Chain A
Amino acid sequence: MISGRLRFDTSHATEFVDLTQRVNDEIQKAGLRTGRIHLQSLHTTLGLAINENEPLLLRDFEHLLERLAPGNGGYEHDDFTRRFEVAVDEPVNGHAHCRQLLLTGFLTLLVEEGRLVMGRWQSVFAVELDGPRHRQIAMQLDGEFSPSGGDSAAELVEMEITRQLMTDPDPVAVPMRRLMEAGGKRLRPKLVQLTSRIGPRQEPLRAASLAAAVELLHNATLIHDDYVDESTHRRGRPTVAAAEGAERAIAVGDYYFAKATRLIAELGNASVATTMAEALEAICASQIDDVAQRGAFPGDHDSYLRVVRGKTAALFAAACVSGALLSDAPADVVEALRRYGELLGIAFQMADDMVDFSPDSGKPIGLDIRQRALSLPLIYAAEDRSVGKEVRTLLAGSLGDKEVDRVADLVTTSDALRRVGDEARGLVEEAVQEIEAVELDGLRPTLVGLARSAVDRTA
């Protein structure tokens, strides 16, 4: 589901604004191939209609509306002496409201092969009944989207990442390109781009530059993490440290840490630069805590949350905040998005921990056990009344294939995965509540959908 707003200005009353091309543009931009687009007028004197865009016919409609609800028809709505709380600039527009009743306030249109299904003479109109005004129509698209998403914003980020990597020296660019081309969910840049559309200042190119920098920064931290964790593979390919050696991995990580910092500084928004720098600091500090806690593996719930807040959630929150700041979103919206991002980041990490025990993940089961990585399912399994003792005993010893398989079995047969799943979904619902009360310019359903899909996954 993708949502948004169509905005336009009208010039006079009973104006038929042909939206057909704009609606088709939105469908193309969203990459909707087959499905529906729902339109809903957000005004009581703006109707919607499907009909023929022929000037004389439009005049006929205008005359029809005038006959059915004449402008001088004497409407009780226009008797301000009998109404409560009448604004000083309240228009005399009873006729416009009545005419809107004759039209409709919402439409659901079918989409096939990436375009509206329309008859030869059909057009989609917004009908201004009381203008001139600034108008908005809420829009939701659902159905099958093209694999590339047709999402021009996401494509813009990919192009920006590609462009940045092309300008870098091969010894750093080649390993980073290999890592980034291997996949990744690109959730953080997506959050940047979505939140950069909330405030009044909407600049897709600057948002793409910030989103690309955030993704480069995230991948730079992964390169160092993989060396620290002695990971041999990431996204199905050898890690930079495994393929190129630790020395090269440190250099590549440093290079992209610096480059991302530079790209963010070049945006010239001090609040964005500070937000991202604080997040990076939180990530590094929590990495130190994470490694320090490995002596007490698998740890406890409190220490898990402390580490995950820095290690994962800080960048999610910063992505949400920095996008919103870039768009000059109001302070209450920025704060709500920070909380949304933090809760989503924690839930995302919990879901990621569960993937380690999923046979559909495409990865060998039990990688986190083998690497003694922080993992909430392991913490819960170690606390479990029936299997906890055996889990703790196994984790305290050396972990060969047999022991790893046994721990994985114990985790999956215990209540641990259900508990983690419930907790992650609970956090997502909390995240959704955080953005309930603020104006998000029609993006709430997209942010809600993104949050829920981030935890309902097996890979």
Chain B
Amino acid sequence: MSVQILDRELERLEALWADGLSDSYRSYVEVVAGYEPEAQPKLALAAALIEVGIRLQGLGGRAAPPPTLLMGDLCLARASRLLADSAGQALQVAFAQAIETVSAAAASGQRARPVRDLLVHAFAAGR
């Protein structure tokens, strides 16, 4: 998969690419192998953005300072748009449920399953 086709999708998030987003992206490349080839880069990026966005926000831990929170929000929003563009309904729903699970646990002060596990599970459920 070419990372170049994702250039437009990384607007405003370029700094994050070198700071963990690319690693996260690569870790999802195999996971999305069963999806339509043209959708795969966007789906892998969507998952990576959710993982990184939640980490930036400090969800489940210490709250991020406002500018970092907003960057995390943008990651989640961008992921949502990528999914709307490239994923079927089932996958969109599964991803949203993964975030609901993590955030509900965080609000309750409970430990949730790692977000990566939830997203990998979502990819399986959304196929």
Contacts and interface: CB of A to CB of B under 8 A. Distances in A.
Interface string B45-66: 0000000001001111111101
Given A254-B76, A258-B99, A277-B84, 16 more contacts: A228-B69, A250-B57, A251-B107, A252-B103, A257-B73, A261-B92, A261-B96, A262-B100, A265-B92, A270-B84, A276-B84, A277-B83, A281-B78, A281-B81, A284-B76, A285-B77
B93 interface: yes
A268 interface: yes
Chain A interface bracket (under 10, 10 to 19, 20 to 34, 35 or more): 35 or more
A228 B66 contact: yes
19 contacts: A171-B107, A171-B109, A172-B103, A246-B63, A247-B62, A247-B106, A254-B76, A255-B100, A262-B100, A265-B89, A265-B93, A266-B89, A268-B89, A274-B81, A277-B81, A278-B81, A284-B77, A288-B71, A291-B66
Contact of A288 (B12, B80, B98): B12
A42 B83 CA distance: 45
A277 B80 contact: yes
Interface string A237-248: 000000001111
B67 interface: yes
The CB with the most chain A CB atoms within 10 A, among B83, B98, B107, is that of: B107
The CB with the most chain A CB atoms within 10 A, among B57, B61, B89, B104, is that of: B104
B76 A257 contact: yes
Interface of A: 168-169, 171-172, 224, 227-228, 245-252, 254-255, 257-259, 261-262, 265-266, 268, 270, 273-274, 276-278, 280-281, 283-285, 287-288, 291
Contacts, number: 129
A252 B100 CA distance: 9
Nearest to A273: B84
B74 interface: yes
A451 B83 CA distance: 33
Contacts of A268: 89
Given A262-B92, A277-B77, A284-B77, A169 B69 contact: no
Contacts of B108: 169, 171
Contacts of A277: 77, 80-81, 83-85
A285 B81 CA distance: 13
A245 B62 CA distance: 10
Contact residues of A: prevailing secondary structure: helix
A248 B61 CA distance: 10
Nearest to A288: B70
Nearest to A168: B104
A420 to B, nearest CB: 26
Contact of B73 (A245, A249, A287): A287
Nearest to B71: A288
A254 B64 CA distance: 13
Given A277-B84, A288-B70, A258 B100 contact: yes
Interface of B: 12, 54, 57-64, 66-67, 69-71, 73-74, 76-78, 80-81, 83-85, 89, 92-93, 96-100, 102-104, 106-109
A451 B89 CA distance: 34
Contacts of B74: 281, 284-285, 288
Nearest to A290: B70
Contacts of B104: 168-169, 171-172, 251, 255
Contact of B69 (A224, A248, A285): A224
A248 B59 CA distance: 9
Contact of A251 (B60, B77, B96, B98): B60
B76 A250 contact: no
Contacts of B69: 224, 227-228, 250
Closest 9 CB pairs of A and B: A262-B96, A258-B99, A246-B63, A265-B92, A251-B107, A277-B81, A171-B107, A254-B103, A255-B103
